[in-house]
């Protein structure tokens, strides 16, 4: 595992066959980061379909992305789509909180099965930043301070745990360095 913080790297180069995993509390900017990353790669043919969102999977199975009672089915779909994208050799961004060690382990196992490079982005944002993003109109839903505080507590544990997890590379993003430029290096045919 190579641990590099985003403030040390304004430009991050990743292999095309990469599973990018986003880890952080609600409102930390993970989905915005995923969209920005894909937008940076549009000229190379990457599309928003490369983002696999747990919220969207929840909406697909029950028409309500906030319905936590649909989590089991939503995450079954989430992991299935990720598996199928990697089977097809496609760049995949896993957009969920990934705050639980078991969730991160399952994503690493999927990547290993498909011989994918793993890149974990940790969103080390303050409560104030998460609350501000949570209130943003374009977000479409508000999770609230209680949920965000709970996520921040889980995130502090995750920050310690990931040091002992088998990621190829880890980047820490914060308020000063939220969106590094990401370049995908294509594999020659």
**Interval 172-182: pLDDT, tens:** 999 887 678 88
Q: Which CATH class is domain 2-185?
A: alpha beta
Q: pLDDT digit string (tens) for 19-73?
A: 999 999 999 999 999 999 999 888 888 999 999 999 999 999 999 887 788 999 9
Q: Is 160 left (phi over 0), alpha (psi -120 to 50) or beta?
A: alpha
Q: How far apart are the first and last CA of the chain?
A: 27
Q: pLDDT digit string (tens) for 155-165?
A: 999 999 999 99
Give the pTM.
0.91
Q: Domain boundaries in the chain?
A: 2-185
Residue 4: C-alpha distances to residues 10, 116, 175 (Å): 11, 19, 16
């Amino acid at each position: 595992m190579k641990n590099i913080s985003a403030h040390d790297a304004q430009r991050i180069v990743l292999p095309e066959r990469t599973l990018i995993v986003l880890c952080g509390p609600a409102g930390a900017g993970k989905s915005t980061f995923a969209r920005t990353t894909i937008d940076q790669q549009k000229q190379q043919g990457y599309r928003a379909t490369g983002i696999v969102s747990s919220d969207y999977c929840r909406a697909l199975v029950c028409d309500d992305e906030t319905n936590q009672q649909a989590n089991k089915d939503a995450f079954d779909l989430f992991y299935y789509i990720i598996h199928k994208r990697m089977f097809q050799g496609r760049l995949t961004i896993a957009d969920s909180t990934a705050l639980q060690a078991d969730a991160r382990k399952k994503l690493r196992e999927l990547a290993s099965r498909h011989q994918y490079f793993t890149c974990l982005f940790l969103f080390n944002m303050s409560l104030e930043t998460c609350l501000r993003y949570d209130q943003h109109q374009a977000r479409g839903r508000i999770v609230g301070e209680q949920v965000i505080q709970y996520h921040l507590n889980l995130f502090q544990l995750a920050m310690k745990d990931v040091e002992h997890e088998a990621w190829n590379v880890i980047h820490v993003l914060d308020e000063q360095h939220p969106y590094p430029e990401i370049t995908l290096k294509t594999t020659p045919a």
